[in-house]
Amino acid sequence: MAEPIRVVVTGAAGQIAYSLLYQIASGAVFGPQQPVFLHLLDIAPMMGVLEGVVMELADCALPLLAGVLPTANPEEAFKDVAAAFLVGAMPRKEGMERKDLLAANVRIFKEQGQALDKVARKDVKVLVVGNPANTNALICSKYAPSIPKENFTAMTRLDQNRAQSQLAAKIGVPVKDVKRVIIWGNHSSTQFPDASNAVAIVGGAQKSVSEIINDDAYLKGAFVTTVQKRGAAVIAARKMSSALSAAKAASDHMRDWFLGTEDRWVSMGVVSDGSYGTPRDVVYSFPVTVTNGKWKIVEGLTISDFARQMLDATGKELVEEKQEALDVCKD
């Protein structure tokens, strides 16, 4: 067995963590040979609930779970961690705008960035799930200058999984047979789910999804809006936000970042280098491949006029969010 790695989950007494912790501790993220020592961070009033989660983790009798540390102290939580799932954030209630969330969350992610900078491993891989995820990741990175910028990512894998699932259902194939669906931009309702490069295996042969579906109005219309608004649809139905699917997507994102993607494309919110004419220095979702723990943006894709408008709109929102967040930081 390998030495255990330390993994922190914030918002550890919450809904998403309740699904996520089992996935991490069971080996679904870091592999079946890699023991994990879980650090569980939440706010002081949640420590009683968290104690119940700790009991349940013990009761799972998981062979890969080397230990559990519940805490309300960020410096204790982030000490020597190799991976961080930043799930805890001010939650969005029905009818609430993301902008209302920004101010509250900037303060949380500033504090966590400072703690990571001080006590985490310098090669820590940080995944921000708590919304607004892209801007939270940017702020977190800004306050952790000793950790490379490329080690801070935001989750758009849930959007990718949603998009892939929609296309598979539309075509009538298993979800594993749909590939190269891309999420561009912000994890918000301006995101651009892009099927123009997607392929599917139909009758043993790989074909372009655009050709199979052959309905441009759907791919630019209902497909895009369904994925953009799926989170709100789940809230309306469940009266709570996506938790099971969000935890699964966080697992997928971190597993692919640690263990690699081979030839698969995955969507990750990463600090933009200006690729595809996107604004620099915002956390923007791109298609990436991962080798040896390093992500690389997929190059050379053709951007149609429609896609250009969509990329620019979500980029504009990210630039505005970044500015609002930086203004809050000054307060």
> Catalytic residues, which ones?
187
What is the rounded distance in angstroms from the CA atom of residue 173 to the CA atom of residue 296? 29
Beta strands in the chain (DSSP E): 5-10, 36-41, 65-71, 83-86, 125-128, 152-154, 178-179, 182-184, 192-194, 199-202, 205-208, 266-271, 283-291, 294-297
Residue 96 phi, psi (nearest 5): -90, 140
Q: What 8-state DSSP symbol labels residue 14?
A: S
What is the rounded distance in angstroms from the CA atom of residue 141 to the CA atom of residue 291? 22
Query: Annotated binding residue at 194?
Result: no
Query: Annotated binding residue at 98?
Result: yes
Query: Annotated binding residue at 105?
Result: yes
Name the token pair of 169. Answer: 């259902």
In sequence order, the β-bridge partners of residue 41 are 10, 71
Query: Annotated binding residue at 92?
Result: yes
Place of tokens 């219309």: 221
> Counting beta carbons within 10 angstroms of the beta carbon of residue 128, is it exposed (0 to 12), middle (13 to 18) or buried (19 or more)?
buried
Query: Annotated binding residue at 209?
Result: no
Omega into 132 within 30° of 0, i.e. cis? yes
Instruction: Give the CA radius of gyration of the chain.
Output: 19
Query: Annotated binding residue at 197?
Result: no
What is the rounded distance in angstroms from the CA atom of residue 146 to the CA atom of residue 164? 36
Query: Annotated binding residue at 151?
Result: no
Tell me how far CA of residue 290 lies from CA of 74, 82, 93, 294, 298, in angstroms: 29, 17, 35, 5, 10
What is the rounded distance in angstroms from the CA atom of residue 316 to the CA atom of residue 318? 5
Query: Annotated binding residue at 230?
Result: no
DSSP string over 236-287: HHHSS---HHHHHHHHHHHHHHHH--TT--EEEEEE--SGGGPPTTSEEEEE
Known binding-site positions = 42, 92, 98, 105, 129-131, 162
Known binding-site positions for substrate = 92, 98, 131, 162
Known binding-site positions for NAD(+) = 42, 105, 129-131
